[in-house]
Structure 1
Amino acid sequence: MGPPQGAGPLLSPPTNDATDLAALLARVADQDQGAFADLYDAVAARVHGLALRVLRNPTMAEDVTQEVFLQVWREATAFDPDRGSALAWLMTIAHRRAVDRVRSEEAQSARLHRYESLHETVPFDSTAEAGELRWEATRVRRAIDTVGEPHRTALMLAYFDGLTHREVAERTQVPLGTAKTRIRDGLRKMRQVMTGGEQG
């Protein structure tokens, strides 16, 4: 059997009779829906008020209030009158629920902040950026053209066609070690050209 629906208005006037609340909880523990409705009417306003003070958000406070009473319906048998009043037990549940919601919201906000930080796009002048990239690409291609064959072909395959060393070896029909040497020596020559040094 689930908790009763329409258990009363959220902000109904509360009661101060601790004995009545304890008796209602005892009946709720026996799945008495009428007692549950009476309990809701008696303390919903206080539960909601506490949740609202902690959360400072009416919608979340209403959600927490409903969660509290769902827990009460399920766990009313856990109430022990020898350990405190029924109202104190109910308000402790409400406070824990509200604090848990705050922590959950803070954790979600922190995760969102981390995600946005990791994926933040740094503003830049797209026209200038594109021009710089085109200039750099032209400079690299000119440097590659100066290294001579077979280094030029190996570098073009590796860095402009995106082939692996093994794929370069297969495409140029040379041993893998030879392909690696051509790429390494070609890069050395390129660096010398682009930094103004002499080829060697």
Structure 2
Amino acid sequence: MSLPEDCFDYEACLAACAQGERRALHDLYTQESARLLGVAKRIARSDALAEDIVHDAFIKIWTRAGSFDPARGTARGWIFSVTRHLALNFMRDNAHIIQVSEQSESAVLAEAALDVATEVDTFEYRARSGRIYGCLEQLEPARRNCILHAYVDGYSHSEISQKVGAPLGTVKAWIKRSLVALRECMG
């Protein structure tokens, strides 16, 4: 059973992994495997592929734990970043392209337009600890949702554009400016 994020010491766990303590990897797996699997599933869109990606992510976390630098971000963020990058690299390297017929494409666009009309701030924050939550809350809801769709859900810029009903260039600009604002806030 996993602990609330603010009660689990990710940094100490990574340090223990770097020292070869297998129990630390087990604790980390217990704490985050379900959420990491969700990230991988969102990107890979396949349960089996997502499981393989998470397996590979934990191997990489174990072997590279010593390279974690707390000056560059949180330990939990690093763990999620490792998983997300593996998933994105796998998808890019294997070029899984899904053909969409014109009819299903228009249905997807119509559904996205309906979602935008009724969408409210869809992200609730369970744990309000840590500066990132305060910094995220300072962003406008549309921009915050773009950041979360990109870095938590693993959506591409095009997918985010369709989901929020904004032009692709606007979504890219929102994400770029929001990342700058988050860096300044976290600074």
TM-score, with length taken from structure 2: 0.49
Higher-Rg member (1/2)? 1
Higher relative contact order (CA 8 A, sep 6+): 2
TM-score, with length taken from structure 1: 0.46
